[in-house]
């Protein structure tokens, strides 16, 4: 899935702030970007090899409440 440049930059900024943000907070921001979509969205984080899978309907991350760390896969 390709992202327009603005949205890609926003996603990168959100992940750079990951030390102080829980997955749910980052997910909520991403849901705001893609609120028009009604299906699963897969985000591949290019720096940390991190995948977030989420639904817009529930606005919940299908992971855990762990903080995002380095190259950990969820």
In a domain, 52, yes or no: yes
In a domain, 23, yes or no: yes
* pTM for the full predicted model: 0.23
In a domain, 71, yes or no: no
Return the closest-CA partner of residue 18 out of 52, 41, 42.
52
Number of domains in the chain: 1
In a domain, 66, yes or no: no
In a domain, 46, yes or no: yes
Please state, in angstroms and rounded to a whole number, the distance separating the CA atoms of residues 3 and 11: 10
The range of the structural domain enclosing residue 17 comes to 5-61
| pLDDT beyond 60 at 25 | yes
Tens-place pLDDT, residues 11-20:
666 666 655 5
In a domain, 69, yes or no: no
């Amino acid at each position: 899935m390709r992202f327009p440049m603005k949205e890609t930059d926003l996603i990168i900024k959100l992940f750079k702030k990951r030390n102080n943000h829980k997955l749910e907070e980052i997910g909520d921001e991403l849901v705001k970007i893609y609120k028009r979509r009604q299906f699963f969205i897969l985000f591949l984080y290019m720096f940390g090899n991190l995948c977030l899978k989420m639904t817009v309907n529930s606005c919940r991350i299908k992971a855990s409440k762990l903080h995002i760390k380095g190259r950990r896969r969820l």
